[in-house]
Amino acid sequence: MKKLNCLLGLMTIGMMSIGLSACGSSTTSSQTASKKKIGILQVVTHPALNAAQKGFKEELAAEGWGEDKIDFTVQIPEGDASSENSMATNLVSNSDMVFGIATSSSKALKAAAEDLKKTTLPILFSAVTDPVGEGLVTSFTEHDNVVGTSDAGPTAKNIDLFKEFGITKVGILYNSSESNSVVQKNEAQAACAADSITLVDGGFSQAADLESTLNGMIGQGIKGLFVPTDNTVANAITGLKDLLIEKKIVTVCADSNSTTAGGSLGYSVDYTLLGKTTGKMAAKILNGTDIKTIPCSLADSFPLALNSEFFTATGIEVPASIQTIIDGQK
C-alpha cells in the first residue's frame, strides 16, 4: 500500500511538473509572439549611419521599448541597390515598423510598402538630407505613414569657415549619384557666390574616380575642400588624409566622423542625437500616437569639430575666431 501511495505521489508530481513546464513554455512563446518587430535597413556600414542606428535603439530603450519588447532585424546591403530593394521587401513583409537609414534605404522601404499595399505600416527615416525633394513626405508636417529626421546641415555656415583662413578657391568632392550630395552641392554653390569664393565642382559617379577627381581640383589651385554628408567620400577620406596634409588643403566636413578621419574642421550633424530623435518618434507611435500628427525634424545641434592633427602636421594656424568657438564648446 505504501508503495502504491508513493507511486501515485510520484505520478502526481510528474504530472504537475509537466503542467508547469507546459505553462512556462506557453508563457515564453506568448512573450515572444507579443514582441514588436522592427526592421532596420541601413545602406552601408559607416560610422555616422551606425551612430544613427545606435541612437535610435538607445532612445527606444529609454522610452520603455528595449529589446525585451522589440525584436530588431538589421540588414545592410553595403550600397548594392538590388540587395537593398530585396531586403526592403523582406523587412516590410515581416515587420510591425521599419526604419530606413539614409536616402536610398528609406525610399526602398517606402516603395516596398506601396508594392505590398502595406500603406499603414509605420516607416521611419533618418540621415535623409531632402525628404521632401526625394518624395518621402509632402512636407515636414504633411505625410501619411512616413516620418523621420533630416541630416541637412548648415552648408552656408561651413562655407563661411573658409573666409577665416583667407581661402578664395574651394573644391567640393561628392558622388553625383547620391541625391543628398547634389542638394548640398547646390547649397554650396549659392554660399560660395555670396562669399565671393570660387567653387570647383568635383562631382564623380564612381568611387574609383574619387582620388583622381580630387587631384584634378588640386591641380586647378584649390586651397580648400568642402565634403558634404556623402557616404562614398566618408568611406574613403581616411585614405585621402596624407594627400590633404601634404597639399595643405583645409577640408571642411559636414560630418564630424569625416573631420576626425581626415578632414580639418566643420559644423556637423550629431548622428547619435539624430537617431535618438527618430527613436522618440518611434516610441510615440508604439504608444499609440497617430504617425500623421508627428512632424518631421531637422537636427537642432551643429557642434564645430576640429582635427588638431591636421593643423599640427601642416603648420596652419587655427584662427582665433575658430579657437574661441571650440573653447566655448568645452
Reference 153, options 84, 255, 64; nearest CA is: 255
| Interatomic CA distance for residues 286 and 59, integer angstroms | 13
| Interatomic CA distance for residues 276 and 194, integer angstroms | 34
Taking the whole predicted model, whether its pTM rises above 0.85 is answered as: no
Task: Return the number of other C-beta atoms located less than 10 Å from residue 295's C-beta.
Answer: 13
- DSSP 3-state percent helix, strand, coil across the chain (nearest 5): 50, 20, 30
Q: What confidence tens digit (pLDDT) does each residue in 51-68 have?
A: 999 999 999 999 999 999
> Could you give the residue range(s) of every CATH 3.40.50.2300 domain in the chain?
35-151+270-298, 155-268+303-329
Percent over 90 (pLDDT), the chain: 82
| Interatomic CA distance for residues 69 and 31, integer angstroms | 8
Name residues whose C-beta falls within 8 Å of residue 56's C-beta, 6 or more positions apart in sequence.
40, 99, 126, 275, 276, 278, 279, 282
Q: What confidence tens digit (pLDDT) does each residue in 224-279 have?
A: 999 999 989 998 999 999 999 999 999 999 988 899 999 999 999 889 999 999 99
pLDDT band at 33, cuts 50/70/90? low
Reference 104, options 116, 90, 87, 120; nearest CA is: 87
- The answer to whether the beta carbons of residues 265 and 45 sit under 8 Å apart is no
pLDDT at 301: 80
Fold of 155-268+303-329: Rossmann fold (3.40.50)
- The answer to whether the beta carbons of residues 175 and 232 sit under 8 Å apart is yes
Q: What confidence tens digit (pLDDT) does each residue in 70-121 have?
A: 999 999 999 899 999 999 999 999 999 999 999 999 999 999 999 999 999 9
pLDDT band at 8, cuts 50/70/90? very low
Question: Does domain 35-151+270-298 bear CATH number 3.40.50.2300?
Answer: yes
